[in-house]
Chain A
Amino acid sequence: MLEIRDLGKTFGAAKRALDGVSFTVRQGEMFGFVGANGAGKTTTMRIVMGLLEADEGEVRWKGGPLDLAGRRRFGYMPEERGLYQKMKVADQIAYFGRLHGLSPAAARGAADELIERLGLAERAGDMVEALSLGNQQRVQLAVALVHDPDVLILDEPFSGLDPLAVDALAEVLRERARGGVPVIFSSHQLDLVERLCDSVGIISGGRMVASGPVGELRASAGRRLRVVVADAEPGWADGLPGELTVESRGRQVLVATDATDEGQRILHAAVRAGRVEHFGVEDPTLAEIFKEAVA
């Protein structure tokens, strides 16, 4: 179990980047870490990895304080990717395996396996600099995974990947989590987080504003009414509760919270306005929870 307890960090004289950040990730749990730009995700992860010292609070792993020996068994993907540009893909992955304590043969074996797994087989002998950005990112991921880590800390691992690579990475992460590894990753792709994660933490301005299992968060946030109307006149929803967005091809979506009493009135208005494609009371999406939480 990885426990992040009351982390506080102030940059310079006044820039309070983190303020009492706490959350816990259990074995085999996939934890999505979300927050607006500058909210403090990277700072939190760097503190966990020992790259930054917290002013207050601590990180605990398996019940004790986390030290270098423990961290060597972590896999980390920094936000700003870093690889030796003039080193071959396979050599590079194996080198990091060695640094994490693998024997030469084991490092080589693990590198080859990951290369295969991440679809880099044809590039194994190429210099990193010759790879496209997305492929470099796959190498970066392989570097984080090569020593079969006990914990994965990944800072925006999905950014810049094509849809196939996203699926491949998601599968790799799920597999690790199934093996009992706590996985923390940050992302701005909330639908992905929602699909993949067991629990999420939402950080805003250096404070955790919500955290817990995705299902619980959604249930506790209050259900909402969602109506989709096609070919409706603009202004049909004037005077109705909720928020209206116009999607492509004239589809209009009205989302109203705490509006169960007014459901019938809204439905009548929608039917009068156009063709109703969808009408239902639902749990909020993670994106909706996020917007409300950081507002």
Chain B
Amino acid sequence: MNGVLLVAGREIRTRVRTKGFIIGLAVTVVLIAGITLLPKLLGGADSYTVGLVSSHRLRVPAAQEGGAPSIEWKEYADEAAARRAVLDEDVDAVLVGDTRVLSKGTFDERLGLLLQSAHREAQISAAGVRIMPLSMEPIGADARYRETRANVAFVLVLILFMLMVQTPTMVAMGVAEEKGSRIVEILLTSVRPWQLLGGKVIGLGAIGLISLVVVLAAGLTTAFASGLAADFPPGLAGIVAGVVVWFVLGYAFFAVLAAMLGSLVSRQEEVGPVLTPVTTTMFVVYGLATYATREPTGLVSTIASFVPPFSAMVMPVRAAAADIPVWQVVISTVVMAAAVAGMVRFAGYIYQRAVLRTGARVRLREVIGSR
């Protein structure tokens, strides 16, 4: 175990000290903060400023959670001043003489509807008619957070995908470097192959986990700071914790596989080609997971969330986007963990045999049968 920790420690120290790591992390944080804010920026405004010229304020319903926006009123002496304010974008619109509304260029649909209905109501009540507002009662499953959950799931997919591509690639590069430069010959006289492999996977995994936690923290901080968190569904903490667990499982699977493939080649340039099957698989996983953000309970998503390695990304996405029965999550986790264990055994076996065979790229078949 000591050997594993030493190897892991070296990996962590050498990566964390590099400029590339720090810069990469900073860029990701900014990116994630941006993505988190995106729905907020694209969504409609939640308050408007409306000018008044010899008009009365309209009564709009008080702003409520996810409901109608509020309106701030501003009086103007004459229409000319009000028009100037509209053109300068000091106000979103101006109500003139209780009859006309002016706005720059085009109309904000939401504001239009709001003003029209408030105006109608004012006239009706002026006529002495009282209307009872419709009472709204949702029935069946609570779908209030569907949109937010899908968005949260989408962000998670992106984070998981970036880390799951990046970190195993680093593992494969490291393995090929050690093999190609023959450092492995010295290393293997003092540690066993599984210690070397395990140390590398754990060390780089720790780096990936640090990135994941930093990124999640950045996303959540942005969400809370901007008030977006108010729209978050309950149980978000569980979803985030689940993502960390799934990252560990998915990373372990792909990293060990990547290490195995990396041990087949002796040069850094060969790492890309030899990893192609893994990267392709990861893109398929990514595609499925993205699809699952929209169709979390569809047949394809459901099946994919049980099949390793697809489950590593599809299951956390489904759990974020919809309410998934606990037994499904448990079974999927157990199956994935078993797949990881199998992959560790298989890849460890190949790695041990291939890593000392220098020269041309080693074919899997050569390694499996031989002594």
Contacts and interface: CB of A to CB of B under 8 A. Distances in A.
B190 A82 contact: no
Interface residues of A, number: 28
B186 A76 contact: yes
B183 interface: yes
B181 A71 contact: no
Contacts of A46: 185
Contacts of A99: 3, 6-7, 187, 190-191
A82 B184 contact: yes
A98 B371 contact: no
Given A74-B189, A95-B10, A96-B190, A51 B181 contact: no
B356 interface: yes
Counting chain B CB atoms within 10 Å of each CB, the highest count among A51, A52, A53, A87 belongs to A51
Contact of A81 (B14, B182, B192): B182
Contact of B189 (A72, A83, A84): A72
B365 to A, nearest CB: 15
A78 interface: yes
Given A52-B356, A87-B14, A100 B182 contact: no
Given A72-B190, A86-B14, A95-B10, A49 B185 contact: yes
B292 to A, nearest CB: 40
Contacts of B187: 99
A6 to B, nearest CB: 18
A85 B181 contact: yes
Given A85-B181, A87-B14, A95-B10, A50 B186 contact: no
B188 interface: yes
Given A87-B14, A95-B10, A99-B3, A50 B188 contact: yes
A143 B189 contact: no
A143 B6 contact: no
A138 B178 CA distance: 19
Contact of B356 (A51, A72, A87): A51
A54 to B, nearest CB: 11
B363 to A, nearest CB: 14
Contacts, number: 57
Nearest to A140: B186
A68 interface: yes
A113 B111 CA distance: 79
A80 interface: yes
Contacts of A98: 6
Nearest to A78: B185
Interface string A10-53: 00000000000000000000000000000000000010011111
B183 A68 contact: no
B19 to A, nearest CB: 12
B191 A82 contact: no
Interface in B144-185: 178, 181-185
Contact of A71 (B7, B183, B189, B358): B189
Contacts of A83: 181, 183
Contacts of B181: 82-85
Contacts of A87: 14
Interface string B285-314: 000000000000000000000000000000
B51 to A, nearest CB: 64
Given A51-B356, A84-B183, A76 B14 contact: no
Contacts of B186: 76, 78, 82, 96, 143-144
A248 B181 CA distance: 42
A61 to B, nearest CB: 13
Nearest to A96: B186
Interface string A94-135: 011011110000000000000000000000000000000000
Interface of A: 46, 49-53, 68, 71-72, 74, 76, 78, 80-87, 95-96, 98-101, 143-144
Given A71-B190, A76-B189, A78-B185, 18 more contacts: A49-B185, A51-B189, A51-B356, A52-B356, A68-B192, A76-B186, A80-B182, A80-B185, A80-B358, A81-B182, A82-B182, A82-B184, A82-B185, A83-B181, A85-B181, A87-B14, A99-B7, A143-B186
Nearest 4 interchain pairs by C-beta: A82-B182, A82-B183, A99-B190, A78-B185
11 contacts: A50-B189, A76-B185, A78-B182, A82-B178, A82-B185, A83-B181, A83-B183, A84-B14, A86-B14, A96-B190, A144-B186
